[in-house]
Amino acid sequence: MQHVLNVAVGLLLDGLAYGMILFIISVGLSVTMGLMGFVNLAHGAFAMAGGYVTVTLMSALGVPFLPALAGAFVIVGAASVAFERLLYARLYRANELDQVLFSIGLVFMAIAAFTYFYGPAPRPIRVPAYLSGSVDLGFRTLPAYRVFMVAVGAALVAALWFGFERTSLGAKIRAAVDNRHMAQSVGIHVDRLFTMTFALGSGLAALGGGLAVNLLGLTPTFAIQYLVFFLIVVAVGGLGSIRGAVVAALVLGITDNAGKYLYPAGGAFFIYAATIALLLLRPAGLYGRD
């Protein structure tokens, strides 16, 4: 009985930590897709880049883990502005096919470039001692990094919720997601808003990528390996909905993790089946609007 409980708690915590990573990476994609309807398959590339920036800052410049994560957030977020202004902005009015192809092309180029500079082998990361051991909660000891992941994720959820629901910037974004033309006609500069959101979303993806290295590993193919999961979080949660992204990411993280452990052969099958069933019933996702 004790053993079953241990396994259950372990699976839940692993799943939560994994779900938090999915949330941190996907939430920016959800908001930018909700704003502009841009199908950006290259979002995973920003996460991958964030992982490499974190690792490089730590190993080459000796930056500690947490500042390196902040560095990844800032550097990738700033770099994404250039991409957005120079490339993405040309395709806002294009159809989905063009956007899909364009962003797949970007993913290929990103993977190739990072493979060229870093090689195809996984990059290790050395997390600080206080995160690599386990924490004693009195009644139970838990792996510290996963507890840290859940804490960071929860803090980000709270921060994003506050920013989205309680600040004027958040109100503008919500207005633009709901009705872009109306938002424009009441004087909201939607293009500039989008650039800011895009940078923030890419920065968050980079942060998630940096946090993910210790749990999921880091190779250049990270950009495409988890892409389907990011897309599932966005589509199932509903475009532009932070609440949807949280729910979808956590459910997906916990089920995928438990499925891999309890039923390794067919676990993934049920995730896709459930995704399809949900999208058939609610094409706009859990909290999306038609």
Partner 1 sequence: MAGTERSPGAAAEFLLRRHRWRPAEALPWLIAIGAYFAFPDYMALGTQILIGILFALSLDLILGYAGIVTLGHAAFFGTGAYAAGLLAARLGWGEPLSALLVAGACAALAGLVSGWVLLRYRGLTLLMLTLAAAIMLYELGNARADITGGFDGVTGIVVKPLFGRFQYDLYGHTYYLYALAVLFVMFLVARRIVYSPFGQALVGIRENLRRMQALGSPVHRRLVTIYTISAAMAGVAGGLFAQSNAFVTLSALGFERSATVLIMLILGGTGRLYGAFLGATIYMLLEDSLAKLSPEFWELGVGLVLVLTVLFARGGLLGLLEQAARRLRRWR
x/- contact string, 39-78, with partner 1 (CB under 8 A)? Answer: x---------------------------------------
Task: Please work out the total of residues on this chain that contact partner 1, with binding judged by CB under 8 A.
Answer: 43
CA dihedral 75, 77, 79, 82 (to 10 degrees): -160
3-state secondary structure of 136: strand
Q: Does 35 bind partner 1 (CB under 8 A)?
A: no
| CA-closest candidate to residue 175, choices 34, 25, 26 | 34
For 212-248, the three-class secondary structure string (H helix, E strand, C coil) is HHHHHCCCCCHHHHCHHHHHHHHHHHCCCCHHHHHHH
Residue with tokens 């590993």: 217
C-alpha distances in angstroms, 229 versus 86, 92, 197, 209? 27, 24, 21, 14
Residue 272, Cβ density class (10 Å: 0-12 exposed, 13-18 middle, ≥19 buried): exposed
CA separation for the pair 39, 96 (Å, rounded): 6
Q: Counting contacts by CB under 8 A, is residue 86 touching partner 1?
A: no
To the nearest whole angstrom, how small is the minimum distance from the Cβ of residue 173 to partner 1? 19
Is 102 an interacting residue with respect to partner 1 (CB under 8 A)? yes
Least distance CB 45 / partner 1 (angstroms): 10
For residue 242, give the amino acid letter: I
What is the closest distance, in whole angstroms, from the C-beta atom of residue 265 to partner 1 in the complex? 5
- Contact with partner 1 (CB under 8 A) among 89, 127, 154, 228: 228
Alpha-carbon separation of residue 114 from 72, 219, 240 (angstroms): 15, 9, 30
Least distance in angstroms from the C-beta of 47 to partner 1: 17
Backbone angles phi and psi of 168, in degrees to 5: -70, -30
| Residues 254-283 as x/- pattern, contact with partner 1 by CB under 8 A | -----------xx-xx--xx-xx--xx--x
User: Which is nearer to partner 1, 38 or 145 (by Cβ)?
Assistant: 38
Give the one residue of 94, 131, 147, 258 binding partner 1; rule: CB under 8 A. Answer: 94
Least distance CB 206 / partner 1 (angstroms): 20
Alpha carbon 203 to its chain centroid, in Å, reads 10
Does residue 247 bind partner 1 (CB under 8 A)?
Answer: no
In the complex, least distance from residue 111 CB atom to partner 1, rounded to whole angstroms: 6
Q: Tell me which stretch binds partner 1 (CB under 8 A): 169-177, 202-210, 228-236, 241-249.
A: 228-236
Residue 113 found at the interface with partner 1 (CB under 8 A): yes
* Residue 135 parent element (H or E): strand 134-136
d(CA 27, CA 18): 14
Run of H or E including 143: strand 141-143
Binding mask 177-216 for partner 1 (x = CB under 8 A): ----------------------------------------
Shortest distance, CB of residue 97 to partner 1, whole angstroms? 5
**Which residues lie near partner 1 (CB under 8 A)?**
33, 37, 39, 87, 90-91, 94-98, 100-102, 104-113, 115-116, 228, 231-232, 235, 239, 265-266, 268-269, 272-273, 275-276, 279-280, 283-284
